[in-house]
C-alpha cells in the first residue's frame, strides 16, 4: 500500500529516512509523529507531551536526521535521556533510521562504560550524540567545546531526568551549547519544574500532544497483562489455550510482527494469517472472507491493514503491541462485540508502557483490570475441556460408522479397547502435553506481573517506619554504607544504579534510605556481575560500596 508510506512522505522527510522507514515496516505515522514531524522540520522549538509507546522516539529522530548535514563530521544533534537503557534505545533507533544515510554516525554516552570508545566515536565524526546527563558532564569537564557545534537538542523523558536529580547537570549542558540551537522537549507530564526549563531554554515552543478527548468504549470485557517485550509471542500462545474464542484479531505494529506472530500461530495449528500493508488488495479480501466463513480463525494485523475490517465472528481482540493513542485503542477493541455479541479485549503491556495504560484508562474512564497468564493447571484443564468438547458430539454416531473397524483393529493388534483408545488419543492430540508434569516442563514461566511502579520517591519516610516488607521473589537486598547523613536520597541511589548498572527501572525494587546506611532491592539474577559493575560507582562524591545484605 504505497499510499500508506505516503503518510510519511507527505510529512517532508528526507528520502533516505523514508527508505529506512519502509525497510523497518512502519506503515503510517503515529499521531504524535504526524504532529511533531512538521513542527521540528519547520525549525520550531517544541514541547511534546507523550509517553513511551506513542512512537515519540521516531517523532524526533526522523525529522532531525532529515535536517542534519552528513558531510559535516561533527556533533549536530544531542539527545539527553534519563537512563543508560533509554539512551541506548534511542541511539539504536537513530542507527536504524539512518541506515540509508552513509556517513551518519551515532554515539551513546553513558556511565558505567569506559570513556575511550565514546570519545573515539565523537572524534571520528559522529553527528548524533545520545547521552545521559551525568556522563556527558564528565565529558564536558575534559572537553568544554564538545557541544559547541550542536544545532539540535532533544530532552527525552524530561520529567524523569528531573526526578533522577539531573537538574544541575542539565544547566551545565545548556551552557555548553550554542544559543541559536533548536530545542525539543518530550515529557509525559508537565510539572512546574519542566515548564520552568522550557521557559528559560526554549524559544517560543509549540505544544504537541496526542488528543485525549474522552472516548466511549462499547461494553467489552477488557483486561491487560504485563509481559516483557520478548515474551509476547509465548504469552499470546498461552492465552489462546484458555480463551474461548470464535474469531480473533491480534494487533501489532509492524509488517514483520504480523508475519512472526502469524507463523508462530500456524505452527501451533491455528488457522491464522497476517494482514499488513504489503498484502495486495485481492489477497486482503480473501483473508477477510476466510475469517468470515471460518476458514481462518485468527488474523494478525497492523492498524492500517485492519482498517474497515468488520467481521461479526470476532469475539476477541488481542492488543499484542500497544496502540499509539487511546483513540486507536478504542477503535481496535470496537472490532469485537459486534451484532450484540460478547466481546473480550486483551492488552499486553511491557513494563515501560505502563503509563500508556494509565492514559487509556483515564481517557476511556474505565479500569482495564490486570489478568494473569494461565498456569500449567489451567492450560491442562482447557486442553482436556477442548478434547472432551470435540469428542462428545462424535460418540453417538462414530460407533455406527467406525465400530466395526475398531473391533477389527483390536483383534489385529491384540490389545484392549482402552489401550487402543489411548493410542488413538495420542495420535489425535499430536504429541500435546496432557499431564501436569509434562506441561510444567513445557511451559517455562513467563513472568505474568512486573513489579508495581515504585512509589518510594514520595512518602519514603513513612514507609521507613513500617515493618520490613518481605522480599519479592527473585530479588536480593543490598546495602550501602551511604545514608541520609551523607546527603543521599533514594533518587540519587536509583539514578546511579540505573546509569552505571545498566538496569531497567523496573528491575530495582524498594529503596530504603536510613541515616547511616541504605538498602536497595536488586534482581538476584546476575547480582554478582552487577555488584562488580558498580564497584567504582560514586554517589554524592562517596563510594557506593554496595554489598549483598543478609538480615540474619
Q: Please say which residue, 104 or 356, places its beta carbon nearer to ligand AMP.
A: 356
Q: Please say which residue, 55 or 112, places its beta carbon nearer to ligand AMP.
A: 55
Among 14, 224, 253, 332, contact with ligand AMP (rule: CB under 6 A): 253
Pairwise CA distance, residues 21 & 96, whole Å: 9
Pairwise CA distance, residues 272 & 295, whole Å: 9
* Shortest distance (Å) from residue 30 CB to ligand AMP: 5
β-strand pairing of 152-155 with 206-209: unpaired
CA dihedral over 19, 22, 27, 29, signed as positive or negative: negative
Cell numbers that stand for 316 in this block = 476477541
From 176, 138, 170, 145, select the one nearest 157 (Cα to Cα).
170
The DSSP-derived string for 147-175 is TTT--EEEETTHHHHHHTT-HHHHHHHHH
Q: Please say which residue, 82 or 343, places its beta carbon nearer to ligand AMP.
A: 82
* Shortest distance (Å) from residue 208 CB to ligand AMP: 14
* Shortest distance (Å) from residue 24 CB to ligand AMP: 7
Interacting positions 402-441 with ligand AMP (CB under 6 A): none
Contact 148, 95 (CB under 8 A): no
Q: Please say which residue, 58 or 235, places its beta carbon nearer to ligand AMP.
A: 58
Q: Please say which residue, 209 or 383, places its beta carbon nearer to ligand AMP.
A: 209
Q: Please say which residue, 227 or 490, places its beta carbon nearer to ligand AMP.
A: 227
Fill in the per-residue mask, 205 to 244: x = in contact with ligand AMP (CB under 6 A), - = not in contact: ----------------------------------------
Pairwise CA distance, residues 238 & 195, whole Å: 45
Fill in the per-residue mask, 45 to 84: x = in contact with ligand AMP (CB under 6 A), - = not in contact: -------xxxxxxx--------------------------
| Residue 163, CA distances (Å) to 33, 351, 392, 509 in order | 26, 18, 60, 16
Q: Please say which residue, 79 or 494, places its beta carbon nearer to ligand AMP.
A: 79
* Shortest distance (Å) from residue 87 CB to ligand AMP: 13
* Shortest distance (Å) from residue 327 CB to ligand AMP: 15
CA 114-115-116 angle, 5° bins: 95
Pairwise CA distance, residues 262 & 298, whole Å: 8
Query: Is residue 480 at the binding interface for ligand AMP, with CB under 6 A as the rule?
Result: no
* Shortest distance (Å) from residue 107 CB to ligand AMP: 20
| Residue 290, CA distances (Å) to 120, 244, 299, 304 in order | 56, 19, 10, 19
* Shortest distance (Å) from residue 317 CB to ligand AMP: 18
Contact 68, 76 (CB under 8 A): yes
Among 254, 290, 366, 448, contact with ligand AMP (rule: CB under 6 A): 254
Cα 367 from chain centroid (whole Å): 20
* Shortest distance (Å) from residue 59 CB to ligand AMP: 7
What interhelical angle do 232-242 and 255-267 show, nearest 10?
50
* Residues 428-457: b if buried by 16+ CB within 10 A, e if exposed: eeeeebeeeeebbeebeebebebbeebebe
Q: Please say which residue, 154 or 164, places its beta carbon nearer to ligand AMP.
A: 154
Q: Please say which residue, 26 or 152, places its beta carbon nearer to ligand AMP.
A: 26
* Shortest distance (Å) from residue 386 CB to ligand AMP: 34
* Shortest distance (Å) from residue 435 CB to ligand AMP: 39
Q: Please say which residue, 53 or 501, places its beta carbon nearer to ligand AMP.
A: 53
Interacting positions 21-40 with ligand AMP (CB under 6 A): 26, 29-30, 33
Binding positions for ligand AMP, rule: CB under 6 A: 26, 29-30, 33, 52-58, 253-254
Amino acid at each position: 500500500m504505497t499510499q500508506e508510506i505516503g503518510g510519511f512522505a507527505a510529512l517532508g522527510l528526507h528520502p533516505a529516512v523514508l527508505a529506512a522507514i519502509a525497510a523497518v515496516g512502519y506503515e503510517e505515522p503515529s499521531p504524535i509523529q504526524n504532529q511533531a514531524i512538521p513542527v521540528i522540520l519547520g525549525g520550531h522549538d517544541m514541547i511534546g507531551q507523550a509517553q513511551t509507546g506513542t512512537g515519540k522516539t521516531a517523532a524526533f529522530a526522523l525529522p532531525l536526521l532529515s535536517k542534519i548535514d552528513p558531510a559535516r563530521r561533527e556533533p549536530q544533534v544531542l539527545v539527553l535521556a534519563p537512563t543508560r537503557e533509554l539512551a541506548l534505545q534511542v541511539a539504536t533507533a537513530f542507527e536504524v533510521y539512518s541506515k540509508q544515510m552513509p556517513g551518519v554516525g551515532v554515539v551513546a554516552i553513558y556511565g558505567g562504560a569506559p570513556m575511550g570508545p565514546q570519545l573515539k566515536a565523537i572524534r571520528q565524526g559522529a553527528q548524533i550524540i545520545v547521552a545521559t546527563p551525568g556522563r556527558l558532564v564528565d565529558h564536558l569537564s575534559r572537553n568544554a567545546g564538545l557541544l559547541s557545534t550542536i544545532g539540535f537538542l532533544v530532552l527525552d523523558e524530561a520529567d524523569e531526568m528531573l526526578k533522577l536529580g539531573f537538574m544541575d547537570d542539565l544547566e551545565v549542558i545548556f551552557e555548553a551549547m550554542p544559543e541559536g540551537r533548536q530545542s525539543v522537549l518530550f515529557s509525559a507530564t508537565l510539572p512546574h519544574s519542566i515548564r520552568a526549563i522550557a521557559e528559560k531554554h526554549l524559544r517560543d515552543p509549540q505544544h504537541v500532544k496526542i488528543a485525549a478527548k474522552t472516548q466511549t468504549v462499547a461494553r467489552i470485557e477488557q483486561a491487560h497483562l504485563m509481559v516483557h517485550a520478548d515474551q509476547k509471542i509465548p504469552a499470546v500462545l498461552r492465552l489462546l489455550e484458555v480463551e474461548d474464542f470464535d474469531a480473533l484479531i491480534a494487533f501489532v505494529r509492524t509488517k514483520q510482527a504480523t508475519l512472526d506472530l502469524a507463523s508462530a500461530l500456524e505452527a501451533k495449528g491455528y488457522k491464522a494469517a497476517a494482514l499488513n500493508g504489503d498484502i495486495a488488495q485481492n489477497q486482503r479480501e480473501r483473508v477477510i472472507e476466510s475469517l468470515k466463513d471460518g476458514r481462518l480463525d485468527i488474523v494478525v494485523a497492523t492498524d492500517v491493514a485492519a482498517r474497515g475490517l468488520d467481521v461479526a465472528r470476532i469475539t476477541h481482540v488481542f492488543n499484542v503491541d500497544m496502540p499509539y493513542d487511546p483513540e486507536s485503542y478504542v477503535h481496535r477493541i470496537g472490532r469485537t462485540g459486534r451484532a450484540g455479541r460478547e466481546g473480550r479485549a486483551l492488552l499486553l503491556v511491557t513494563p515501560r508502557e505502563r503509563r500508556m495504560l494509565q492514559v487509556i484508562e483515564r481517557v476511556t474512564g474505565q479500569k482495564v483490570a490486570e489478568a494473569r497468564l494461565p498456569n500449567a493447571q489451567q492450560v491442562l484443564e482447557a486442553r482436556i475441556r477442548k478434547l472432551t468438547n470435540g469428542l462428545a458430539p462424535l460418540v453417538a454416531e462414530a460407533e455406527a460408522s467406525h465400530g466395526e473397524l475398531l473391533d477389527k483393529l483390536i483383534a489385529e493388534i491384540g490389545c484392549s479397547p482402552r489401550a487402543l483408545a489411548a493410542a488413538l488419543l495420542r495420535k489425535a492430540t499430536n504429541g500435546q502435553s496432557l499431564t501436569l508434569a509434562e506441561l510444567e516442563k513445557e511451559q517455562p514461566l513467563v513472568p505474568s506481573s512486573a513489579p508495581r511502579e515504585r512509589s518510594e520517591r514520595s512518602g519514603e519516610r513513612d514507609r521507613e517506619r513500617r515493618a520490613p516488607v518481605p522480599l519479592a521473589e527473585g530479588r536480593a537486598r543490598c546495602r550501602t554504607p551511604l545514608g541520609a547523613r551523607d546527603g543521599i536520597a533514594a533518587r540519587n541511589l536509583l539514578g546511579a544504579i540505573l546509569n552505571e548498572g545498566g538496569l531497567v527501572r523496573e528491575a530495582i525494587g524498594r529503596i530504603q534510605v536510613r541515616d547511616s546506611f541504605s538498602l536497595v532491592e536488586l534482581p538476584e539474577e546476575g547480582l554478582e556481575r552487577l555488584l562488580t559493575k558498580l564497584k567504582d560507582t560514586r554517589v554524592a562524591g562517596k563510594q557506593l560500596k554496595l554489598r549483598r545484605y543478609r538480615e540474619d
